[in-house]
Amino acid sequence: MTNVSGKTAGATATGAKARKRGRSKAPSTAPRGLCGNSVFLVGFMGAGKSTVGRALGRLLNWTFEDLDDRIATREGRSVAEIFRDSGESEFRRAEHAALQQLLAELRGGIVRIIALGGGTFAQEQNHKAILASGVRTIFLDAPLPELWQRCARQTALEVKRPLQTSETQFRELHQKRLPFYRTASLRFDTSGKQAEAVAAEIAEKLEELGLKKITIRAEQGEDE
């Protein structure tokens, strides 16, 4: 069982290694009838977007991607390094460019679960682009004290969160972003839950909405 928490200690590593680690084993394109059935996971830092996203990918056989990994691969340096060396404005530029690239791929019909950074959905231009894409958005929510505790535990594991400075700043940033999160298509409470349990809840709801698990045929060397 996996606790619901944010990123693992290696989640901000650069290059293809980070990109590979952030994906569940799944086909990269959708079978006929499933084109465009992707979802964005949104929420504040510590909400468990990456952890739940990987678990959901395993359940549905959908490819999982962390947008931060795409940014790191495109820029050749980690998110923490971009913040440290170039500042938040440069990171937001790189983030928007990576998101636009991803949205273009989604329009091509791929099936994917994407974990967005805590601030991605709260940037006006990103927010408009994501809503206009028609891709479902899922808000992973939890009480603020629990989010802070999760992030504090991850900090002890050397997980670097550039915008996690003080508890006061953490609270203010959460309040600023919350209105954006609340515009998501669906909301799931992750408080006190294992990642697999949250993923199962999401998978059940997506099935009700007509989004199905991908069945991989056991032929020509494919996995079953």
pLDDT in tens for each of the 224 residues of the chain?
A: 566 664 544 444 444 444 444 444 433 343 333 335 799 999 999 999 999 999 999 999 999 999 999 999 999 999 989 999 999 999 999 999 999 999 999 998 888 999 999 999 999 999 999 999 999 999 999 999 999 988 888 654 444 545 556 788 889 999 999 999 999 999 999 999 999 999 999 999 999 988 777 665 333 333 33
Q: What is the CATH number of the domain that holds 134?
A: 3.40.50.300
Domain count for the chain, please give it: 1
CA nearest to 100, candidates 124, 57, 76, 133: 133
Q: Is residue 217 part of a domain?
A: no
Q: Is residue 224 part of a domain?
A: no
Could you tell me if 138 and 40 are in contact, meaning their C-beta atoms sit under 8 angstroms apart?
A: yes
Q: Is residue 218 part of a domain?
A: no
Token digits for 21? 């680690």
Q: Is residue 201 part of a domain?
A: yes
Q: Is residue 99 part of a domain?
A: yes
CA nearest to 82, candidates 177, 162, 164: 162
Residue appearing with tokens 């050397």: 158
Cβ neighbours for 155, distance < 8 A, ≥ 6 positions apart: 161, 164
Token digits for 58? 């395993």
pLDDT at 159: 46
pTM higher than the cut 0.85: no
Q: Is residue 150 part of a domain?
A: yes
pLDDT at 26: 39
Distance CA 8, CA 154 (A): 7
Return the H-helix or E-strand segment holding 84: helix 79-86
Parent domain of 153: 32-208
pLDDT at 7: 54
